């Protein structure tokens, strides 16, 4: 489900984000560095710097579940972009994704 959401959002995000799909079997060094094991993982970078996002899940490095809502993903990317432009290395998500809430 994740690649379809990314592809459908690419046109709306083209002014402030570029989406790259990477096969993790092609770059094992990157997998070790960022602990990439899930089939669908979303990470954010701004000017060659990894941007962390506080989603309330405890893992601030990446999103490792399949996004199902297109607008929700667009909102997350907008928050990350605004925070990264201000020089923040950690931005806070517009929604809490901890286990006490359904997502």
Query: What residue ranges do the domains of the chain occupy?
Result: 2-92
Helix (H) or strand (E) holding 6: helix 2-9
Instruction: Report the predicted TM-score, pTM, of the whole model to 2 decimal places.
Output: 0.81
Q: Return the pLDDT at 81.
A: 92
CATH topology of domain 2-92: Glutaredoxin (3.40.30)
Which phi and psi (to 5°) does residue 85 adopt? -65, -30
pLDDT in tens, 7-23: 888 899 989 899 988 88
Residue 50: count of CB within 10 angstroms of its CB: 13
Question: DSSP code of 64?
Answer: -
When computed from its CA atoms, the radius of gyration of the chain, rounded to whole angstroms, is: 13
52-70 pLDDT per residue, tens: 988 887 778 888 877 778 8
């Amino acid at each position: 489900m994740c690649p379809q959401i990314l592809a459908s959002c690419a046109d709306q995000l083209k002014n402030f984000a570029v989406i790259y799909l990477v096969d993790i079997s092609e770059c094992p060094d990157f997998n070790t560095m960022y602990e990439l094991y899930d089939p669908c993982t979303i990470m954010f970078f701004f000017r060659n710097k990894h941007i962390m996002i506080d989603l309330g899940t405890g893992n601030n490095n990446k999103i490792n579940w399949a996004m199902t809502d297109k607008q929700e993903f667009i909102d997350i990317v907008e928050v990350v972009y605004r925070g990264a432009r201000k020089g923040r290395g950690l931005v806070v998500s517009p929604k809490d994704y901890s286990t006490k809430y359904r997502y």
